[in-house]
Amino acid sequence: MAFARVNGAVAHYEDRSARNGGAVVFSNSLGTDFRIWDGVIARLPADLRIIRYDKRGHGLSEATPTPYQMTTLVEDLAALLDRLEVESAVVVGLSVGGMIAQGLAALRPDLVSALMLMDTAHKIGTIEGWNNRIDTVRQKGMAAVADGILAGWFTEKYRNEVADFAGYRAMLLRNDINGYTGVCAALRDADLTESTRALKVPTLCVAGEHDATTSPALMRKTAELIPGARLEVIKNAGHIPCVERPEEVAGLIAGFLSGLDG
């Protein structure tokens, strides 16, 4: 395990593989930690420098007082990459991680050579919806929202037939309440439409076919904001394709990286 105090909070991260290889940074979704990328990373070329981290209030990273702002989450990642002396990276972001990736490309374009935006958007959800979730979690705990969230994360087949599902349910239920609701507040208040419209970076957008939260239709709207961005839809996947379909996600990442080299 590796930890660093960056931007006023202690971040848990992993930095592995070839230090002289191209850097690929993974930023994960609300309610998860960086283990969701295990199946993808195991299938990527060994000559890459792989960096993944737990955002503020998630996994083993510190949960600071709430609420959080998206700009803070973006600055956290920028500070971590500066600490690790990363000069430029392909940033792969899932859900809120995808918003962090968009924000990083706008705030610090020097750090981002390309984006892979997965099951995310320039704006996610409504103020009312996020406030309802924050209130429910604070009053009743994570268990009160778990079933609905998990139904969005994974297809019914995965939930019913794959033993790993129990582990991801436990991951969700064990979230720090302040950390989880803090990031909910950041999502509630974030609208990246204009800053994302101004991006000029190679971008691949990816959506799970059955993702109801950030649907393929919503992802297409985000892709249309970024010149040259394209959309790929992963069949038989919900909001977290990197868990449910790691082979397909790894293949898309590898193909995207190969295209950048060309």
* Cβ(136)–Cβ(145) below 8 Å: yes
The pLDDT, as a whole number, for residue 19 is 66
Domain of residue 237, CATH code = 3.40.50.1820
**How do 203-208 and 230-234 pair as beta strands?**
parallel
pLDDT > 70: percent of the chain: 98
**H-helix or E-strand spanning residue 11:** strand 9-17
Whole-number average pLDDT of the chain? 96
Determine the distance from the C-alpha atom of residue 216 to the mean position of all C-alpha atoms in its chain, rounded to a whole number. 16
Q: Report the pLDDT value the prediction gives residue 40, as an integer from 0 to 100.
A: 98
The pLDDT score that the predictor gives to residue 261 is: 74
pLDDT in tens, 40-89: 999 999 899 999 999 999 999 999 999 999 999 999 999 999 999 999 99
Cα–Cα nearest to 165, from 61, 91, 54, 244: 244
Contact criterion met (CB below 8 Å) for 43 and 247? yes
**pLDDT for residue 20 is more than 80:** no
> What pLDDT sits at residue 237?
98
Whether residue 260 has pLDDT greater than 70: yes
Tell me the β-bridge partners of 5: 10
What's the whole-model pTM score?
0.97
* Structural domains counted in the chain: 1
**Alpha-helical runs (H) found in 63-207:** 70-83, 96-107, 127-140, 143-153, 156-161, 164-173, 177-189, 193-197
262 band by pLDDT with thresholds 50, 70 and 90: low
Q: How do residues 120-155 score in pLDDT, each as one tens digit? A: 999 999 999 999 999 999 999 999 999 999 999 999
Question: What's the longest Cα–Cα distance across the chain?
Answer: 52
Alpha-carbon gap, residue 134 to 131, rounded angstroms:
5
Lowest mean pLDDT of 3-12, 15-24, 232-241, name the range: 15-24
What residue numbers bound the domain in which 164 lies? 2-261
